[in-house]
């Protein structure tokens, strides 16, 4: 029996089950009421405005990204275990802070302390970040983050500085974890050395808040390829739309479009499940010998619920080798048709 197992379909069974579990963890987006420290360091005021004012128009995280989020949470817990093993006291994990004037909030991963250490006798806030080995090797200091080529790395300095500001802590740290080797590298900085960064963030947030209150849009930042091309707001950003020659965004109230697109979205997972089941069905039938014989041969199988027809058809293909006459070849193809027994009278059949 085991020789008839479709290994590709079997692998898909496991992969799809895991992805389905990730999908169940996806929560409906809710209307954000303020700025998050993790993205407040973004230099574009339009972005900071759009993630609040037009959050419904932005794409939700895809399933692969949800997997990355999970991996980040697992990395954080492993780092906390390592810190405890190293003699540190880990407290106040996921502690929230807020600046109501700026409508800014942040959640610090943890505070660490060690009574026998002159600096860590007082709990210090830390943020944990997991990194690809190649990126891990590029980041050795706070300045490396400030000058990084990747825009998401350049947001980290603002994030950890804001955590220090919100927690009223002058010293803040970031622990980097190599995803492959599990090596760690810790970067510390003092927020009073980077007040220029905090002041720029404060000015951006205050300006965005005024636009939110007045119902107006801020201007997007000047086009920066590494920042703009992969931006989650690129699909609605006026500057990006004009750059692509798409002009203004047409906002319409069309129930039919919404209905059709919603149907497509709701059935996307079902379509994948259908394709996987069909692939497994064909492999099972082939393993049982139902596709055999010459072109034109058909075999019918009747189960308790379905009638299945396996046919060997043909596809004609012309081959044109250089310098010779065309050669016409008939390529056998496997065709599958199935019909529920209760629906045969209505012609409700399926083929593939």
Provide DSSP, 271-309. HHHHHHHHHHHHHHHHHTT-S-SSTT-EEEEE-SSEEEE
pTM: 0.61
The structure tokens listed for 176 are 């980097």
From residue 22, alpha-carbon distances to 11, 19, 62, 74, 263 in Å are 17, 5, 10, 14, 21
Measured distance between the N- and C-terminal CA atoms of the chain, rounded to whole angstroms? 25
Phi, psi of 322 (to 5 degrees): -60, 130
Give the whole-angstrom CA distance, residue 130 versus residue 128.
Answer: 7
Give the whole-angstrom CA distance, residue 190 versus residue 188.
Answer: 7
| Number of other residues whose CB lies within 10 A of the CB of residue 255 | 7
Give the whole-angstrom CA distance, residue 33 versus residue 36.
Answer: 10
- Residue ranges of domains in the chain: 31-243, 293-352
Buried/exposed 28-39: b ≥16 CB within 10 Å, e otherwise: eeeeeebbbbbe
Give the whole-angstrom CA distance, residue 7 versus residue 280.
Answer: 9
Buried/exposed 313-336: b ≥16 CB within 10 Å, e otherwise: eeeeeeeeeeeeeeeeeeeeeeeb
| Number of other residues whose CB lies within 10 A of the CB of residue 159 | 21
Instruction: Given CATH 3.40.309.10, say whether it is the number of domain 31-243.
Output: no
Give the whole-angstrom CA distance, residue 154 versus residue 71.
Answer: 21
Secondary structure in 3-state letters for 53-78: HCHHHCCCCCHHHHHHHHHHHHHHHH
One digit per residue, the tens of pLDDT, for the chain of length 352 reads 456 666 666 666 676 766 666 555 554 455 677 999 999 999 999 999 999 999 888 876 555 555 555 566 778 888 999 999 999 999 999 899 999 999 999 999 999 999 999 999 999 999 999 999 999 999 999 999 999 988 889 999 999 999 999 999 999 999 999 988 889 999 999 999 999 999 999 999 999 999 999 999 999 998 888 888 888 888 888 888 877 665 454 545 556 777 777 788 778 878 888 888 888 888 888 888 776 777 777 788 888 888 888 888 776 555 555 555 556 666 677 778 888 876 544 455 555 5
DSSP H helices, 175-224, are 195-214
């Amino acid at each position: 029996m085991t020789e008839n197992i479709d290994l590709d379909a079997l692998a898909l069974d496991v992969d799809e089950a895991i992805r389905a579990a990730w999908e169940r963890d996806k929560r409906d987006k809710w209307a954000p009421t303020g700025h998050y420290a993790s993205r407040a360091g973004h230099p574009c005021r339009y972005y900071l405005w759009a993630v609040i004012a037009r959050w419904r128009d932005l794409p939700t995280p895809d399933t692969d990204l949800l997997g990355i989020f999970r991996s980040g949470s697992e990395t954080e817990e492993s780092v906390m275990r390592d810190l405890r093993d190293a003699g540190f006291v880990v407290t106040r994990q996921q502690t929230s802070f807020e600046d109501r004037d700026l409508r800014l909030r942040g959640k610090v991963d943890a505070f660490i302390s060690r009574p026998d250490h002159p600096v860590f006798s007082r709990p210090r806030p830390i943020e944990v970040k997991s990194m690809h080995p190649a990126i891990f090797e590029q980041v050795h200091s706070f300045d490396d983050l400030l000058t990084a080529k990747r825009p998401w790395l350049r947001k980290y300095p603002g994030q950890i500085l804001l955590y220090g500001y919100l927690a009223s802590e002058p010293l803040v740290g970031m622990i980097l974890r190599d995803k492959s080797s599990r090596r760690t590298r810790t970067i510390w900085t003092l927020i009073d050395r980077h007040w220029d960064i905090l002041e720029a963030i404060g000015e951006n947030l205050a300006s965005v808040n005024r636009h939110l209150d007045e119902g107006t849009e801020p201007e997007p930042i000047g086009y920066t390829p590494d920042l703009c091309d992969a931006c989650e707001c690129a699909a609605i950003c006026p500057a990006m739309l004009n750059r692509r020659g798409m002009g203004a965004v047409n906002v319409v109230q069309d129930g039919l479009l919404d209905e059709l697109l919603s149907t497509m979205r709701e059935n996307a997972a079902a379509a994948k499940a259908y394709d996987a089941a069909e692939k497994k069905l064909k492999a099972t039938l082939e393993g049982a010998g139902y596709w055999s014989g010459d072109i034109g041969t058909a075999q019918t199988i009747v189960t308790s619920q379905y009638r299945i027809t396996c046919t060997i058809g043909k596809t004609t293909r012309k081959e044109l080798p250089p310098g010779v006459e065309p050669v016409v070849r008939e390529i056998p193809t496997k065709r599958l048709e199935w019909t529920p027994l209760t629906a045969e009278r209505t012609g409700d059949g399926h083929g593939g």
